[in-house]
Structure 1
């Protein structure tokens, strides 16, 4: 029996609060757990009897302490499993399923019935490895970022033994575009406005570029490694601009490092209507610049 909510709680924790699990027979189980838990710190069971076993022997009044996750799972299964309707305030629904932690500390992750990888907690962060891959990726700040990253890999049809640039190239191929390495470097990936993204003569033609940037260091720009939790994709839009009197280049929107398909979708939208997307991005860039100027002019609080 699949206990999806308990599995997520055991992986993600409850942020020092109690989370409620609704059972198939309508009864409730209240649990509090740390992330990556093998045992649930506290279990409150109103109107539910527990087995007379060592797993449930540690009590403080009405609360059971340090109950193994497997014992809680067995209790849930005895009541018909988890109810189809749960509280989504604490754990919003996602497109992947987390399976119980195995003896190696891995949580197997599936999309429907399709295995898409595994995640593991290392220290205070998480790492992920796609199905068929031999290389762990991360660190990710939390369990959900690692899970969403595996969904990205699954959507692109790759197990993950490739770097961020290769993943973006694959995503762009899915929308009919072939990017170019910018001016002979191995960093920026660029797309022009010509057929299939070709530049045409000269950089005065419209183009768009993407690169992975580490927000913590603000020094490393690359496409030659897997995305990390501190990464973001920086979009730069350039080309001739009649209202600016010549070639202009400016920063467009940014995307989280793992949101590779979103980056490809934005580039595809730009390629379909470069003038429209450019005008919208330029308006947003000017608004950000004015906000920064105004903030710099404010006295310290």
Structure 2
């Protein structure tokens, strides 16, 4: 069981006073600890709590003056944080309602390993932080150098969270991530492709292959390419810029011999229809290919007739 408040306390410390943790079944644990410590200086168990009879728990005193009032409980010294976490778990974890000294945040600090605290946002790893020469430094996921000089562990973790949020905001605007988000519910694997085209520059797209289905009657494997372009620029083929209202999504239907047909186009905002089209294609690639072939033939015939009337 993840004891979020305990992990934040062991990283940040408690100062000169006690910080308390309310357990899920009601009782309180009071903790006094230095920052960046795997062993808590003092742990006071309020009445109703009994410590395990292990060497990790050695009673110091049966009476304790706490917050100016006499309190009947048991005080323990130098208790490993891991042992306190086990006791909290035995009582159902940490209560949802706690003091406001550690307000809710969007990150979680995990126990230190080799002096490094993993920081996560749910299941997403944001990076690590460590206490070095009395200041906290961070290294984001994928980074190669430690940086920063934060006064507290909370500031360091918050910095990693803000970096991740800024990256999310930037990535969410790029066509590739807009497209991936739109097609996520399809459950189909997306493979990014890219190529440098002479006179045109780099191109990029995603490819989607059929899963567990027979190939076309010709024996070729069906696939789909999806990319973004400006509505007035048929040469553009990209996923590497921000989506605008002047853009459209293009779907190409392909086969194993590199034959490709125009499948459909959708406005930049109509990603739901785009996703539905891909799902329909995957359900019956042969029918989608036949329809695209007929539409392409009709377009070519219209173009020929239009050209003929001009002369």
TM-score of the superposed pair, with normalisation by structure 2: 0.49
Query: What are the within-5 Å matches in structure 2 for residues 1-301 of structure 1?
Result: 1-46=1-46, 47-61=48-62, 62-88=74-100, 90-102=101-113, 104-157=114-167
- CA gap of 1:174–1:137, structure 2 versus 1, over 3 A, is farther
Secondary structure, aligned partner of 1:11 = helix
- The aligned length equals 161
Listed as ranges, the gaps of 5+ residues in structure 2 are 63-73, 175-311
Q: Deviations over 1:26-61 (max 9, x none)?
A: 111111111001111111111211111110025233
Q: What is the distance in 2 between the residues matched to 1:17 and 1:77?
A: 24
Q: What is the distance in 2 between the residues matched to 1:119 and 1:58?
A: 33
Q: What is the distance in 1 between the residues matched to 2:57 and 2:133?
A: 29
Choose 1 or 2 for highest CA Rg.
Answer: 2
CA contact (8 A) 1:58 1:66 kept: no
CA contact (8 A) 1:42 1:64 kept: yes
The structure 1 segments of at least 4 consecutive aligned residues displaced by more than 4 Å after TM superposition are: none
Q: Which residue of 2 aligns with 1:292?
A: none
Q: What is the distance in 2 between the residues matched to 1:155 and 1:80?
A: 32
- CA gap of 1:48–1:11, structure 2 versus 1, over 3 A, is same
Q: What is the distance in 1 between the residues matched to 2:173 and 2:133?
A: 36
- CA gap of 1:123–1:152, structure 2 versus 1, over 3 A, is same
Q: What is the distance in 2 between the residues matched to 1:30 and 1:141?
A: 24
Q: Deviations over 1:171-211 (max 9, x none)?
A: 7x979xxxxxxxxxxxxxxxxxxxxxxxxxxxxxxxxxxxx
Listed as ranges, the gaps of 5+ residues in structure 1 are 159-169, 176-301
Displacement, 1:157?
Answer: 2.3
TM-score of the superposed pair, with normalisation by structure 1: 0.51
Displacement, 1:106?
Answer: 1.0
